[in-house]
Amino acid sequence: MTMGTPNKIYPCGRINRRQMMFGMANGFLGSAVGGLWAADGRIPGALLAGTPRAKSVIYLFLCGGMSHIDTFDPKDNKHAGKLMDAIGFGDNNAPMKRPVIPILRTFKNYGKSGIPVSDWFPNIGGVIDDFAVVRSMYCHQTNHFPAVIEHATGKPLRQFEHPCLGSWATYALGSANKNLPAYINIGRPSSPVQLTGGYLGSAYSATPFQAGSTPIPDLMPQKDSDAKERDRRMETLHELNKQFRDEYAAEAAITGRLKAYELAANMMMTAPAVVDFANEPQHVKDMYGIGEKPTDDFGKQLLLARRLSENGVRFIQICHAGGGNGSWDAHGDMKAHEPLCRAIDKPIAGLIADLKQRGMLESTLVVLTSEFGRTPWSQNTTGRDHNGKGFTTLLAGGGVKGGIIEGSTDEVGYKALESPHYISDLQATILQQMGLNHKKMDFPYNGRTFHLIEEGTGPIQNILA
Amino acid sequence: MFKLLSTSLIISLTLTLSAAETTAPKPKPKLWSLQPLTRPTVPQGLTKSDNPIDAFLAAKHKENGVTPVGPADKLTLLRRLSFDLVGLPPTPAEQDAFLADNSPDAYEKLIDRLLANEQHGVRWARHWLDVLRYADLDGLDGSVMPAAPGIHNWRDWMISALNQDLSFDKFVRAQLLGNRNSGRVLTSTGGRRSRGAANPQDQFALGFLARGAITNSNKDQNLAFAAVETISTAFMGMTVACAQCHDHRFDPITQADYYGMKSLFDPLVLRTVPLASAADIQANGDAMEAYRSKSEPLDDAIEKLTAPFHKKLFDERVSLLPPDVQAIVNKPENKRTVAEQKIFDDYYPVLRIDDGKMKEIMPKDVIAEFDALNKKRRALKRPLSLPVNVVVEEDRLKLNEPSYILTSGDPMRPEKDKPVKPSFPFKPEDVDFRDGRREGFVDWLTAKENTLFARVAINRIWGWHFGEAIHKSTSDFGMLGGRPSNQPLLDYLASEFVAHGYSMKWLHRLILTSDAYKMSSASADKSANYDADPNNTYLWHFRLKRLEAEPLWDSILSSAGNLDLTVGGRSFQAVTPDSKQSIFLPADGTFESRKNRRGIYMARGYIPSTEVMSNFLQTFDVDDGRTPCPMRAQTITAPQALYTMNGELVERASIALSEKLAKESGDDVKTAVDLAYRKALGRKPTAGELDRTLTYLGKDQANLKGLGWLLYNLDEFLFVK
């Protein structure tokens, strides 16, 4: 929906005049209105030459820590049952001996690439040739909240209000759609930090969206209001504001109010259409597993993500099984992964196939990750502990080479061994594909400069086409 | 209007600096804010106003070629003053009274009336609580804020202190010491009398220090760190926290200063004080005893039933451990050394036997019995705990422990070769620590010789009145903070503040009676002024201010006649907390059920796993209390527009207002519009507005609800002229 289109919620002539005024005002309001819907990026120096490979990013985050060795990084079970030197979980960093527990999954080599995928992800196996499987990710933190925060902000500690990756990216690039937020989160995260704009300002925080009729707070008018009455109100409001706005025409805040209402009205018109799946054909819904009980929720979220991506939303983050530690946190029994895998397997494969059939995969970067992986050993259960020293992240589309494996973990899957990549490398990769120089993601304030990327080796070049 | 950031952000890069860079002593630069405070002479002959503020401003006006605009009209001033001093819009009755009062001191009487209103403390406490990091909940990674159950007592203490015009030095003293009285007197014989006893309510002021403690696994974490950061920023205007990891790169503050200051607070521990009456304590104890008499036999029965299964699993797990660890585990607890006990504790996750695991090896009949016992056990309701307040006090043992530099920030890794003595930045030679560490510091901090204390305080107060302070970075009087736009004015106010016994109400009166405060906010058609001073740095017109979240909340509810003006009490939660996170949340009874109270009582804070801040507070730029917030950001965003366009609060208020209007106007639409404008905007509608509104309303009384919506969405409603 472009700015000139007549507004269906408030289809009065005033709106068009106001849209024109908005067009004139655009450019100098900047942060007074908030980057949420700002058109221009705010770190022009970070823009890379050429056309960015990824117009948008769909960032799938599995809350709690998906086990890499039970999914995409198989190990033989020759060490199963043996005690190994382990590091305790949480803030208990004492070394101790713990028993390695067997991997109970069967793996099959899929596609032309023959990349092994476990029986929990048969559908993802079907599209594995589109994925780069990075098996050598690592982070520093070993417990959920710190690791989630590290993952989101690229900093192992949160002494300051560091913004998350999506905020940085949209701060730097601005919005491609003036009717929708540039950075949207779907699903409950592990931590609000995964949404925060931090010192970039709350306007750069993720806007929480949900599938369903009210994607964002207060988007829809109160139930009993009718469109005609709303239109009358908006028209009257505009006239009653006139004297005050004339008197304070020199104030950026007042010009900003005009724009804020304009954008709010546009949102009210645009967003419901984006979340309305009525026009999606049944076969597309089927690809995402919509209508099947285990996959319905996540399928709808991914279909919504595709639709947001089509509408120019730059960064769409989807948090799966969040709230608290996250349901992927399988300490007690690895079997807890099974229903979670089933819930996401078909929708993810469907998303890849759908993007591909629309010719969107080339310009849409899909990332699948957790805050960390899981240990080869257990705490004397049939589940696994947290493991930040080695885990797997998958990337597809947006200029990423499919069907390749990057790096490795050791023979039990504990530590990243070959080509280790700190989580900042994942961030740098995403930024580069979005057309941003990861080394220039800086925010100056009071004579000092904050950097998003402070560690690691930069974009993961081996997986880039 | 870019978001104002806490100046503590400035220290971010310090983490990557090595200690090696920190050794060379620095020459102390001539920082303006460290120069002695002397009262400048009031410039003469530049203004007709006899308020010295106007004389100092006039000098700058002349220097910079700007001409101040004229005064605002009476009703604009009334609304401005009401929001400023009590955070509420003026009622129609207050408007009538002020308009009718033609006496020469009508304006002064208005100021006195508002300052005497108990809602004044409610409004101004919010400013100071922002700087002092008030939060109802705080915690990272499963840690909690131990002071949470009684923290509102600190807020309520502050409201009361501001209402009583507790002098600013005592205001600070009480929050640092729990005792507003200094009371040290030299007797004629040269002897020394110790400090006066504390007023009982000052224990609540210690909520300030107690709030800083974040407990994780029973380790007191950052009470002392939080105290240094908050006190230095709030009352000294210095980002001392930069020196946590290295000597300050810009200001004359060393790492030793930082840890010296931290050592003032190192001996502090938390103490929980019950607030109940003797009868309540007795009754609660009795209820607890009754509960125990039922729960203990059940616990015993469960333990007896599970013992063999527990032992079997435990022994199995122990047998998997390395032999040296097995030896430690098998020792009786009282025979283990401290180090051995630590190893034992480290193995807790391995040795913990969950019910589920035991049930896997229990026979069916035992499982049934086990489940039945557990069901009974769960059915017992533990009595609610009594209200408590959490204070800090010096621990005698900790007082004798030396303090060290901790470049790593980790209290478990002190640099034993770098001990520090109680100290603080800019400490003179002769500080008297005989009464205590904090006492010595507070005596220095609040002394009139301190060049920072009064300057920082009056500058904050000025900023809250005008929307921008004389020294713009209110929390940074250091090298990076820039220079004040009008230092003579700042110094004059600071020295007069000291001379007037640090009375904040005196300062309010002086500021509010200046011509500067009474200026119009309109700035159109003043192009010469714009050219000379586009940012209004030298104050040639009053700054248009967007209402902060709390006065906006209060204003919507109040104009609809729905605001509960009760002062004090627990906070209410506007967000329903995630029950999964209950372990991080305070127990039942911590929060208030009435949700139409003033915005200051809306719960706030930060827990990474669950949302504490309501959508409303976040949308309207409220910080979560993790870092001192010197000035609120004033963003203008589309979500704010959505909130007032479609939100439930405005919907409910619009209905309430329309009902009130219908009743009070005797069904006369014109009277209703007139009244609505006066309730919401503090003035009558103009003829044009009345006309336009009547056209909207038509003959349909039902549209009165729409009238409320219109008023709550007007720019004028959100701004203070």
Q: How far is A276 from chain B (nearest CA, A)?
A: 20
Which of B690, B721, B602, B629 shows the shortest CA–CA distance to B8? B629
Q: Do residue B159 and residue B245 come from a single domain?
A: yes
Q: Does B242 touch chain A (CB under 8 A)?
A: no
**Interface touch A446/B140, C-beta < 8 Å:** no
With cut-offs at 50, 70 and 90, classify the pLDDT of residue B639: confident
What angle is formed at CA A56 by the lines to CA A443 and CA A293, rounded to 5 degrees? 120
CA distance A316 to A308: 8
For tokens 């990750």, the residue is: A369
B219 inside domain:
yes
Q: Residue B115 has what pLDDT?
A: 98
Q: Which domain holds residue A295?
A: 43-217+279-463
A417 touches chain B (CB under 8 A): no
Q: What is the pLDDT of residues A130-186, one digit of tens each?
A: 999 999 999 998 888 889 989 999 998 776 778 999 999 999 998 888 788 889 999
Cβ atoms B248, B238 nearer than 8 A: no
A411 touches chain B (CB under 8 A): no
Q: How far is B544 from chain A (nearest CA, A)?
A: 8
Does B161 reside within a domain? yes
Length of chain B counted residue by residue: 721
The answer to whether the CB atoms of B646 and A220 lie below 8 A apart is: yes
Has residue A5 been placed in a domain? no
pLDDT at B417: 85
B549 CB within 8 Å of a chain A CB: no
* Residues B414 and B368 placed together within one structural domain of the fold: no
From B349, B686, B714, residue closest to A88, measured CB to CB:
B349
Q: Which CATH number is A81's domain given? A: 3.40.720.10
Indicate if the pLDDT at residue A24 is higher than 50: no
Nearest-Cα residue of chain B relative to residue A265? B642
Quick check: is A93 in a domain? yes
Q: How far is B524 from chain A (nearest CA, A)?
A: 6
Q: What is the DSSP string of A297-315?
A: HHHHHHHHHHHHHHTT-SE
- Chain A hits for B523, CB-CB cut-off 8 Å, are 248, 250-251
Q: Is residue B109 part of a domain?
A: no
Please name the member of B12, B142, B349 whose beta carbon is closest to the beta carbon of A160: B12
Query: How many folded domains does chain A comprise?
Result: 1
pLDDT in tens, B175-209: 999 999 886 655 556 666 666 788 999 999 999 99
Q: What is each CA distance from A296 to A211, A302, B139, in whole angstroms?
A: 11, 10, 35
Answer yes or no: do B253 and B297 share one domain.
no
Minimum Cα–Cα distance from B530: chain A residue: A250
B520 touches A: beta carbon within 8 Å: no
pLDDT at A40: 75
Give dist(CA A444, CA B67) in Å, integer. Answer: 35
Task: Enumerate the residues of chain A whose CB falls inside 8 A of the CB of residue B583.
Answer: none
B66 is a domain residue: no
Tell me, yes or no, whether A372 lies in a domain. yes
Task: Kindly provide the b/e burial profile for residues B157-173, where b requires at least 16 CB atoms within 10 angstroms of the residue's own CB.
Answer: bbbbbbbebbbbbbbbb
Residue B50, min C-alpha distance to chain A (Å)? 30
Does residue B95 fall inside a structural domain? no
Phi, psi for B334 (deg, rounded to 5): -75, -5
The per-residue pLDDT for range B398-444, each reduced to its tens digit, is 898 888 888 766 666 778 888 889 999 999 888 888 889 999 999 99
Q: Give the pLDDT of residue B141.
A: 56
- Report if residue A354 sits inside a domain: yes
Whole-number mean pLDDT of chain B?
A: 88
How many angstroms separate the CA atoms of B353 and A202, rounded?
45
pLDDT tens column, B25-69: 445 557 899 999 999 999 999 999 999 999 999 999 999 999 999
Q: Does position B15 have pLDDT exceeding 90, yes or no? A: no
Q: Do B217 and B283 share a structural domain?
A: no
What's the pLDDT tens digit per position in B683-711? Answer: 999 999 999 999 999 876 668 889 999 99
Q: Does B633 touch chain A (CB under 8 A)?
A: yes
Q: Are residues B212 and B325 in the same domain?
A: no
pLDDT band at residue A29, thresholds of 50, 70 and 90?
very low
Q: What's the confidence (pLDDT) of residue B51?
A: 97
Assigned domain for B13 exists = no
Indicate whether this model's pTM tops 0.90: no
Complex-level ipTM: 0.84
pLDDT band of B248, cuts 50, 70, 90: confident
Q: Are A151 and A63 spatial neighbours (Cβ–Cβ below 8 Å)?
A: no
Q: What is the DSSP letter of B403?
A: E
pLDDT band at B13; cut points 50, 70, 90: very low
Chain B residues 671-690 within an 8 A CB cutoff of chain A:
686, 688-689
Residues in A touching B637 (Cβ below 8 Å): 33-34, 36, 203, 260
Cβ pairs A/B, distance under 8 A:
248
Do the domain assignments include residue B259? Answer: yes
Domain boundary among B329, B363, B379: B379
CB A217 to CB B714 under 8 A? no
Residue B106 lies in a domain: no
Instruction: Determine the average pLDDT of the residues in A421-447.
Output: 92
Other beta carbons less than 10 A from residue A394's beta carbon: 22
CA distance B58 to B49: 10
Q: What is the DSSP letter of B273?
A: E
Q: How many CB atoms lie within 10 A of CB A221?
A: 18
Q: Which residues of chain B lie closer than 8 angstroms to A199, CB-CB?
A: 3, 5, 9
Q: In this structure, are B702 and B687 located in the same domain?
A: yes
Unique residue bearing structure tokens 């119009």: B520
pLDDT score, position A227? 86
What pLDDT band is residue B546 in, cutting at 50, 70 and 90? very high
Contact (CB, 8 A) for A426 and A365 = no
Cβ of A324 and B580 within 8 Å? yes
A268 has a chain B CB within 8 A of its CB: yes
| B478: closest chain A residue by CA | A446
Angstrom CA distances, A107 to A136, A385, A394, A417, stand at 19, 22, 17, 21
**Interface mutation vs chain A, best among B636, B686, B700, B718, most A CBs within 10 Å:** B636
**Owning domain of residue B418:** 135-184+192-271+409-445
Residue among B651, B606, B481 nearest B133 (CA): B606
pLDDT tens digits, A75-89: 999 998 888 887 655
Looking at the fold, whether B256 and B360 belong to one and the same domain comes out as no
Q: Which residues in chain B (117-156) have CB-CB distances under 8 A to chain A?
A: 140-142
Residues B283 and B264 in one domain: no
Q: Is the pLDDT of residue B283 over 50?
A: yes
DSSP A371-417: S-EE-SB-SSSBS--EE-SSEEEEEESTTBPSSEEE-EE-TTS-SEE
Q: Inform me whether the pLDDT recorded for A336 exceeds 80.
A: yes
Average pLDDT over every residue of B636-654: 91
Tell me A203's DSSP state.
G
**Are A157 and B10 a contacting pair at CB < 8 A?**
no
SS3 for A51? coil
Residues 169-228 in A contacting B (C-alpha not used; CB under 8 Å): 190-193, 199, 201-203, 205, 207, 216-222
**Taking phi first (over 0 means left), then psi (-120 to 50 degrees means alpha), and beta for anything else, what does residue A187 get?**
left
Q: Can you give the pLDDT at residue A89?
A: 52
Nearest CB among B5, B530, B619 relative to A199 is that of: B5
Cα(B161)–Cα(B145) distance, rounded to whole angstroms?
24
How many domains is chain B built from?
A: 3
Report the distance separating Cα B87 and Cα B619, nearest Å. Answer: 19
Is A314 within 8 Å of A294 (Cβ atoms)? no
CB atoms within 10 A of CB A312: 15
Chain B nearest-CA distance from A161, in A, is 8
* Residue A97 parent element (H or E): strand A95-99
Nearest to B523 among A221, A245, A250 (CB): A250
Burial class (CB in 10 A: 0-12, 13-18, 19+), B607: buried
pLDDT in tens, B454-493: 999 999 999 999 999 999 889 889 877 789 999 999 999 9
What is the model's pLDDT at position B187? Answer: 59
Q: Which residues of A touch B609 (CB under 8 A)?
A: 145, 190-191, 323-325
Lowest mean pLDDT among B329-343, B575-589, B606-620: B575-589
| Parallel, antiparallel or unpaired: strands B185-186 and B192-193 | antiparallel
Q: Are B512 and B465 in contact (CB under 8 A)?
A: yes
Is the Cβ pair A379, B350 closer than 8 Å?
yes
Mean pLDDT of chain A: 86
Same domain, B174 and B293: no
The SS3 call for residue A445 is strand
Q: How far apart are CA B643 and CA B650, in angstroms?
A: 8
Distance CA B597, CA B564 (A): 5
- Residues B291 and B325 placed together within one structural domain of the fold: yes
The verdict on a CB contact (< 8 Å) between A97 and B610 is no
Burial class (CB in 10 A: 0-12, 13-18, 19+), A89: middle
Shared-domain flag, residues B305 and B372: yes
Contact A129/A112 with Cβ under 8 angstroms? Answer: yes
Question: Any idea how long chain A is?
Answer: 465
- The nearest CA of chain B is from the CA of A354 a distance in Å of 32
Q: How confident is the model at residue A18 (pLDDT cuts 50, 70, 90)?
A: very low
A236–B692 CB contact, under 8 Å: yes
β-pairing, B719-720 vs B545-546, is antiparallel
Check B1 against A244: CB less than 8 A apart.
no
Q: b/e string for B663-692 if b means 16 or more Cβ within 10 A?
A: eebeeebeebbbbbbbbbbbbbbeeebbeb
B76 at A interface, C-beta within 8 A? no
Q: How far apart are CA B124 and CA B115, in angstroms?
A: 10
DSSP per residue over A110-136, as a string?
Answer: ETTTTEEEETT-HHHHHTGGGEEEEEE
Element (H, E) at B3: none
Give the CA dihedral A388, A391, A397, A402, nearest 10 degrees.
150
Please report the pLDDT score of residue B321 as a whole number. Answer: 78
User: B253 pLDDT band (50/70/90 cuts)?
Assistant: confident
Q: Which residues of A touch B714 (CB under 8 A)?
A: 237, 240-241, 244
Kindly state whether residue A164 falls inside one of the protein's structural domains.
Answer: yes
To test the contact with chain A by mutation, choose from B251, B635, B643 the residue with the greatest count of A C-beta atoms within 10 A, namely: B635
Q: Which three-class secondary structure state does DSSP give residue A96?
A: strand
Confirm whether A1 is domain-assigned: no
Instruction: Please give the Cα distance from A144 to A372 (Å, whole number).
Output: 8
Q: Report pLDDT for B590.
A: 67
A267 to B713: CB separation less than 8 angstroms, yes or no: no
Q: B372 and B422 share a domain?
A: no
pLDDT in tens, B669-687: 999 999 999 999 999 999 9
Task: Write down the pLDDT at residue A179.
Answer: 83
With CA atoms as reference, the chain B residue closest to A252 would be B1
Q: d(Cα B627, Cα B11) in Å, to the nearest integer? A: 12
Predicted confidence at residue A316, as pLDDT, reads: 97
pLDDT score of A337 = 96
Chain B residues lying within 8 Å of A88, measured CB to CB: 346, 349
Residue A178 lies in a domain: yes
- Is the Cβ of A156 closer than 8 Å to some Cβ of chain B? no
Torsion angle defined by CA atoms of residues B653, B656, B659 and B665, in that order, rounded to the nearest 10 degrees: -70
